[in-house]
Each structure stands twice: as C-alpha cells, then as structure tokens.
Amino acid sequence: MIYLDNAATSWPKPEAVYQAMDSLMRNTGASPGRSGHLMSLTAARIVYETREALCEFFGIADPSHMVFTSNATESLNLAIKGLLRPGDHVVTSSMEHNSVMRPLRALEKAGVELTVVPCASDGSLDPSAVERAIRPNTRLVVLSHASNVVGTVLPVGAVGAIARRCGVPLLVDAAQSAGCYPINVESMNIDLLAFSGHKGLFGPQGTGGLYIRPGLEARLEPLKQGGTGSYSEYEKQPDFLPDKYESGTPNTVGLAGLGAGVRFVMREGLANVRKKEEKLTGLLLQGLAGIPGVVLYGNGDPGERVAIVSFNISGVPSSDVALRLEEDFRIMCRPGLHCSPVAHRTLGTFPQGTVRLSPGHFHSVLDMERTLEAVRQIARKAR
C-alpha cells in the first residue's frame, strides 16, 4: 500500500510518537494541573515540554502564548471569532480552506465586512493586492501559508510586513506548512499562528495550537469558559495565558505524541525534511507532466510549494481516478474539493475538483515511480 494522503493526516508516525503516547497512557494517565500528586505533576510537565518544543520550533519567546486546541480549525475559530466584531473589516485570500471561509462567512452575516483578495490561477498571491484591500476599519488579515489543494506557498512574510506597517494583526493558517516549511513568527511578522498537530508535525489527530502575540490577548475573547485547574476559588475565567483559552481537561496523551513529533522533526532537521519532500514532489510533477491526458494545477516549481500535487485525467471524474488508484494499485489519495471550494474556483476546477497526491517523509522514490506508472495506466485506458 502507498498512502498519499499526508495533507489530511500524516501516516505513519515516527516510532517515538507511538512510544510517547503508549508510555503516558500506561504510566502517567492523570489530568495535568488538576492535583498536586506525582502523576498529575508528571502529566503537566509533559504538556509543558510540548509547549516549549513548539515555541522553539516556531521562534516564540514566551511559552505561555502557545495555546493548545484540538486542531487548526478550533485555533482559527478562536482567533477569528475572538477578534472580530460587527463593523470590523477582515481581508483574506481566494485560496483559503473552509476552516477560514466558513467562520468568516458566518461573521459576515453578523455585520463583519469581508474582502476576499483574488489569487492567480496557479494559487499565487500578489502581496500588494492585500495592501490595497486594507481599510481604516480593517481589524484582521487571514492568510493560508500553503494551499491544501495545490501546495502553493503564499507570501506570508511580505504580507506580514504590510500588515504590521498598517497596524493590522496577521493570522496565518499553517495547517499545511507547520513541520514542512520554515516558520518564524518574529521574522515573518505573524501575530497569530494556527496549526494542526496531525500533519507535518507528526502528532495524532485531535491536537493543534494557536500562537497569540503578546498584547493581543487583551482583545481576543475565548471561545469557551470552564475549569482550568487554576484559580478554582473564582467563578470568573482566568485572564492570563494560556489558561484563558484552555478550559477543560486537555488531550494529554495527544500532546505527548505531538511533543515527540515536533522533536522528531527537529532531530531530522527541517531543512532535510523539506529537501526530501521537494524531491518527491518534483518527481511527481515531472512524471505527471509527461503523461498524455493529465492536467496539472499550481506552480510547477517544487521549491515554491509543499508536498501536494493536484491533477486530473481528461474526461475522468477525480473520484473515479482515486477509486482506480486504490482498488487496482492500493494507492490512497484524496479526490474532490478538499474542503476548499473557493480555492477550486480560483484554479478553475470547481465543481469537479482534483485528484490530490500528498507524499510524506517516509516515502521513497520507488513509491513515486509506482504511483506514476499507475496514473499512466489509468490515463491510457481513459484514452
């Protein structure tokens, strides 16, 4: 079997991730911050070590400003709904995932003004278009770092400089780039960084986080209130980080796995991870481009995209191609619209969608060659 759906969830995980989660469940298993006994303190230490590792990875100085969530979607909802009020204006791009578009459309109905800056047909974005869209009442710019449909890396650093100059916070959706592409919140002028743990960071599903720049917490309302293990004598929600945004018992076992995943990427070296994924992506792009009947989407340079490749075979629905890949060749991928209809409209692939291949760190050149041969056979039969 060849699993090419790492853009949805990375698999397999590093062995250290499995071990960390198994060890916590067998040997610790208590709720962090809910008691003073040894098992609770050990669980709290594991959670904090994961917080520290993520801060080191993203260039964050204060670990308290790394807030844990259940996924990137929750992080984006917290940032978007926590900051925007009726009468505010927000800017985003036409390559966003529904985790951005749906909260924004919901707030638009409540009186928030929305501008969707159009991207080019390959998914690229001109930063000056974002600058032109900013108004006096703009309160947020939301931008995907890398497209989940074609992998195109958007100019987050350039947009961050523009947003900082205009005094507008920048929220970056790093669901597809965290662990796969360099991110430094300071040098890239990122005010809010939303990420998932179960993709390029090799953690399990149900993990994610939101970095909040110091000072923004005064304006950012929490999505939920409840028990935090701190200030239990008060009925009001704590106003300090991270407790303000972390109500409820955390996914401790998941965070243990996420910590192991982040440390795996750091040991491997992000540059090495990136180099391998570029190579695999380049092999797919080059091979698919040479197959008659195959239509490729996005930038053709593997250096300007994460490890995501979208294509179609002329005259064949994307779902049929994916079915043939799985049933005839045991290759797992994802067809359709990938929860990003606005991106597919930008690419010109709505409503049919595309076939998405997303290789990962544990794939080989042989896996790519087998995949290309499978597509070649399917395209030949279609002709």
Query: CA-CA distance, 354 to 345, in Å (whole number)?
Result: 12
Task: Please check whether residue 324 is in contact with residue 164, taking contact to mean a CB–CB distance below 8 angstroms.
Answer: no
The set of long-range contacts for 223-232, using a CB threshold of 8 Å and a minimum separation of 24, is 223/74, 223/77, 223/78, 223/81, 223/82, 224/248, 228/33, 229/31, 229/32, 229/33, 229/34, 230/33
Task: Please check whether residue 238 is in contact with residue 226, taking contact to mean a CB–CB distance below 8 angstroms.
Answer: no
Backbone dihedral region for residue 336 (phi beyond 0: left; psi -120 to 50: alpha; all else: beta): left
Active site residue 55: no
Q: What one-character DSSP code corresponds to residue 24?
A: I
Q: State whether the Cα torsion 4-311-349-351 is positive or negative.
A: negative
Distances (CA, A) of 167 to 205, 217, 243: 35, 16, 27
Token pair in block for residue 72: 């990137």
SS (H, E, C) 77-99: HHHHHHHCCCCCEEEEECCCCHH
Token pair in block for residue 73: 């979607």
- The CA-based angle 139-306-335, given to 5 degrees, is 95
Of the candidates 176, 182, 183, 181, the residue with the CA atom closest to the CA atom of residue 199: 176
Query: CA-CA distance, 14 to 20, in Å (whole number)?
Result: 10
| Catalytic choice (55, 166, 180, 339) | 339
Give catalytic residues, as residue numbers.
339
